[in-house]
Amino acid sequence: MALGSLVAYWNTLTLKSVWVNFRGIILMILAQLCFFLTFFLTKVANLRYDIPSFQIVTVRGTVMLVVNSIKIYYSDASLDIPRRFYKNLFWRAFAGVISSCLIFYSATVLKFGECLTIFWTLPFLSVILAAIFLDERLNLFDLLAIMMSFIGVLLVFQPEYLFSVSSNEKKRAENSQGAIHPVTYLLPFIAAIFAAIANVQMRVMKNHVHYAVPILFLSVALSSVPPVIAMLFQGFQILTTEGYVITFAAGIVGWIGQLLQSKSLQIEKLGTSFCEIRNTPEIESPKTLSILILNICRYWKCCWFHPGCTGFFV
């Protein structure tokens, strides 16, 4: 019976109906692709051009501030924000800048597999916070979907702190990376906590604040706080033409990802954006399709950043 309803629903799908029923998950998938491309550009900028991580965050925030201000100016976005949402905008920007600083620093220090595997506790944390603070219903299927997705990322990346590594491989990694303080491995998890807090704030402001407005406050924070940290701890480097292109591209792609994610979080519940799709009249719950699509996106990212992975293994 369920298979028959699924086939009937599939036969009635059109581009318009797909967009109407699945646009939240589609926007989130595109946002994740943008974020992973931003991580990739950050890694390239740091490894190839030796650009400090906080300088990359500063340039990215400045680019986001300029392009997002242009979008707000030429769109229907209103800056007349109800006073009750001021604190939500503050916490969205505060949590966003801490999360960005920590995850981009981690991406330049740790291996991509180690960094993103730890950071991918974000969906689980977001759904838990949504259930606590937003009263969004959480069922066993949602928890299982997130846990299975996280286990899949673990199997693809196989981080060294969970999987055994030969002594020769460990020595080569230590020689290429240098000694890493164990506390460094906590940074992606802390970044995930603050990113989940930022997502909750976006859900609180849905239908009341234009999705581009919180990004304006975030970009102001990203273009003002990281420069101070960079001057105190890392310093600035004079960028080459290629360095400017890489960091500018990271800012543009990161801004697009923020827009898509903000819009997705206004459309769907927080748990829905990360692990399921809304129910439709034709079929009771097409969650399996949404999880398949989202995991294809995640595992594609894993293969892109982890050359040792193969499509067959995924």
Tally of CB atoms within 10 A around 183: 7
pLDDT, tens digit (0-9, with 9 covering 90-100), for 200-222:
999 889 888 999 999 999 999 99
The CA distances from residue 263 to 75, 108, 222, 303, in Å, are: 14, 29, 20, 27
Residue 111: what pLDDT?
A: 79
Q: Cβ(11)–Cβ(285) under 8 Å?
A: no
Task: Give the end-to-end CA distance of the chain in Å, rounded to a whole number.
Answer: 31
pLDDT, tens digit (0-9, with 9 covering 90-100), for 52-75:
889 999 999 999 999 999 999 998
> 179: pLDDT confidence band, cut at 50, 70 and 90?
low
Which of 31-35, 41-45, 190-194, 267-271 has the highest mean predicted lDDT (pLDDT)? 190-194
Q: Which of 119, 126, 125, 127 has the alpha carbon at shortest distance from 102?
A: 119
Residue 95: what pLDDT?
A: 95
Interatomic CA distance for residues 165 and 170, integer angstroms: 6
